[in-house]
Amino acid sequence: MFVSALLLAPAARAAERPNILFIAIDDQNDWIGYLGGHPLVKTPHIDRLAARGTAFMNAHCQSPLCNPSRTSVMTGLRPSSTGIYGLAPWFRQLDEFKDVVSLPQYLAQHGYRNYSTGKIYHGRYGRGKMDSEFHQLGPAATSKPVPPEKLVTTPFGNHPLVDWGTFPHKDEDKGDWKIASWAVDRLDEKPEEPFFLSVGFFLPHVPCYATQKWFDLYPDDDTVLPEILRGDRQDTPRFSWYLHWYLPEVRLKFLEEENEWRNLVRSYLACTSFVDSQVGRVLAALKRNGLEENTIVVLWSDHGWHLGEKMITGKNTLWDDGTRVPLVFAGPGIEPGQVCVQPAELLDIYPTLTELCQLPSKPELEGHSLLPQLQDASARRRWPAITTHNRGNHAVRSENWRYIHYADGSEELYDMRSDPNEWHNLAGDAGYLRQLARHRRFLPDLDREPAPGSKHRILIYKDGKVNWQGEEVDPKAAIPGL
């Protein structure tokens, strides 16, 4: 006798749903093999995952900073809708959003058992608060082990996290190894299905420490350095500097003067390959336990990272180096071996998973399901990817163009087909008025002020004045670090 799935008991329907393995990598830019962001990078495990699923070549974060980006992924709301632009606040502290149903909570409502380890949200905010998000928690993200003293003395306060290099330690002692091990142990236990297992790796976030064997994958010469254009910032608005005005991440000038540019690049590449190996351990456990066929795997990073491009290092920018991230879906309901060049947003993960798992839609989510592209990578997409960093600063990334609008009204426009490095700003060229108008219409209608409790990396532009982290910026001041 045929029984409609809609008539099955909720528990029975839940048992038929796919599992979800949700893998996040911190500060991982497009230096991933399948993305082609660096010609020498070695990420065989992520590349194999991309080959057995649908790999998005044009995926972008909602914010180039950890807390707002991860809050957006997990709530399905844009930073410009929540006002969460900085490293604080935790969205549950805001009256308006404390009852928002997050992705793990929504899955739990529909019978999923939630496990989490490492960095998924930005910080734990106390174990009790995370208990409302996940049923079981593993080790938190950590940069340990670290050397007794910093390896590189850096400007802007010699911040303890801004460091890189190698020192005698073991891979097995690293925080990301322990995170992967916890995830592997859960999979080896063959957890109650359906499950949502979120695994958040810390590296290649600074400090970029790796053991020597990972450094040895990359030559100790200038072939590892990214391609740059001297004077690249001459045609960009001064306002672009305000987004990272006085941050602890170093400028290219410091790296070159201290002969540290190559060391930092090799450190980042080494950490990327190490994390890839840990992704491989988790994926191997998934397959070994017979869970691969019924598990949707989603791999993503919260934002990109500069390593000398645009004369800076770090995040906090609205260019491709700051926003482009790996995004891969693989598993049931997903066409394998696909490469999609349509724009995608991390905001799309939540609605995509709800549709893949055949859960009721949530109209309040601001992203759009990627299911059409997961079934046919050539399917056209109406929406570009929109990245926001502090109020009034937005990037619109379509298939072939990047448009940036700053809070003071200044703009940038790049043809990504002929200028993939974004070296030539076309916003002042009268021949591109149509493209400017086309992209301006996607700027967010809602552009909230910073949420109460906002702090760290907060920029406010009001009445023609720039206030950066509580201090007014002199418009004639020299740009720090140059």
pLDDT tens per residue across span 239-266: 999 999 999 999 999 999 999 999 999 9
Which among 329, 328, 326 has a CA at the least distance from the CA of 296? 329
In this predicted structure, what is the pLDDT of residue 16?
83
Amino acid identity, residue 286? L
- Is 176 domain-assigned? yes
User: Using CA atoms, how far apart are residues 277 and 177, in angstroms rounded to an integer?
Assistant: 9
- pLDDT tens-digit series, residues 417-473: 999 999 999 999 999 999 999 999 999 999 999 999 999 999 999 999 999 999 999
Q: Catalytic positions, please?
A: 66, 122
In the predicted structure, residue 9 carries a pLDDT above the cut 80: no
SS3 236: coil
Amino acid identity, residue 294? N
- Angle formed by the axes of helices 261-288 and 44-51, nearest 10°: 50
Q: Would you tell me how many other CB atoms lie within 10 Å of the CB of residue 40?
A: 14
> Residues with Cβ < 8 Å from 122, sequence gap 6 or more?
66, 67, 70, 71, 87
Flag the least confident range among 126-130, 221-225, 328-332, 444-448.
126-130
User: Using CA atoms, how far apart are residues 323 and 113, in angstroms rounded to an integer?
Assistant: 31
SS3 17: coil
Predicted confidence band at 13 (pLDDT cuts at 50, 70, 90)?
A: low
Cβ atoms of 83 and 63 within 8 Å: the answer is no
**Residue 69's domain spans which residues?**
10-384
Domain count, the chain: 1
User: Using CA atoms, how far apart are residues 238 and 229, in angstroms rounded to an integer?
Assistant: 18
User: Using CA atoms, how far apart are residues 297 and 293, in angstroms rounded to an integer?
Assistant: 10
Reported pTM: 0.96
- Is 137 domain-assigned? yes
Q: Measure the N-to-C terminal CA separation of the chain; round to a whole number of Å.
A: 75
Residue 430: Cβ-neighbour burial (10 angstroms; 0-12, 13-18, 19+): exposed
Strand extents, DSSP E, 136-217: 136-137, 164-165, 195-201, 208-209
In this predicted structure, what is the pLDDT of residue 3?
28
Cβ atoms of 300 and 326 within 8 Å: the answer is yes
Predicted confidence band at 7 (pLDDT cuts at 50, 70, 90)?
A: very low
- Is 410 domain-assigned? no
- pLDDT tens-digit series, residues 65-121: 999 999 999 999 999 999 999 999 999 999 999 999 999 999 999 999 999 999 999
- pLDDT tens-digit series, residues 143-176: 999 999 999 999 999 999 999 999 999 999 999 9
- Is 428 domain-assigned? no
Mean pLDDT, range 212-225, rounded to an integer: 98
> Residues with Cβ < 8 Å from 467, sequence gap 6 or more?
459, 460, 461, 473
Where is 339: in which H helix or E strand? strand 338-340
Mean pLDDT, range 399-419, rounded to an integer: 98
Instruction: Give the chain's count of helices (H) and strands (E).
Output: 15, 21
In the predicted structure, residue 1 carries a pLDDT above the cut 80: no
Half-sphere exposure of 202 (CA within 13 A, CB side): 23
Average pLDDT, the chain: 95
**Rounded to 5 degrees, what angle do the CA atoms 226, 232, 238 make?**
130
- Is 460 domain-assigned? no
Cβ atoms of 317 and 244 within 8 Å: the answer is yes
Residue 453, phi then psi, degrees to nearest 5:
85, 5
What residues does 385 pair with on adjacent strands?
A: 397
Residue 25, phi then psi, degrees to nearest 5:
-120, 130
Which among 111, 17, 23, 15 has a CA at the least distance from the CA of 297? 23
Q: What is the CATH number of the domain that holds 353?
A: 3.40.720.10
In this predicted structure, what is the pLDDT of residue 124?
59
SS3 92: helix
Amino acid identity, residue 468? W
- Is 480 domain-assigned? no
In this predicted structure, what is the pLDDT of residue 123?
77
- Is 416 domain-assigned? no
Q: Kindly calculate the radius of gyration of the chain based on its CA atoms and give it in whole angstroms.
A: 22
- pLDDT tens-digit series, residues 259-297: 999 999 999 999 999 999 999 999 999 999 999 999 999
Q: Would you tell me how many other CB atoms lie within 10 Å of the CB of residue 115?
A: 23
User: Using CA atoms, how far apart are residues 10 and 443, in angstroms rounded to an integer?
Assistant: 40
Q: b vs e for 140-150, b when ≥16 Cβ sit within 10 Å of the residue's Cβ?
A: bbebeebeeeb
**Rounded to 5 degrees, what angle do the CA atoms 351, 355, 357 make?**
120
What CA–CA distances, in Å, run from 198 to 23, 90, 108, 180? Answer: 6, 19, 13, 11
- Is 431 domain-assigned? no
Q: Is the peptide bond before 145 cis (omega within 30 degrees of 0)?
A: yes
Q: b vs e for 466-481, b when ≥16 Cβ sit within 10 Å of the residue's Cβ?
A: bebeeeebeeeeeeeb
In the predicted structure, residue 2 carries a pLDDT above the cut 70: no
Predicted confidence band at 133 (pLDDT cuts at 50, 70, 90)?
A: very high
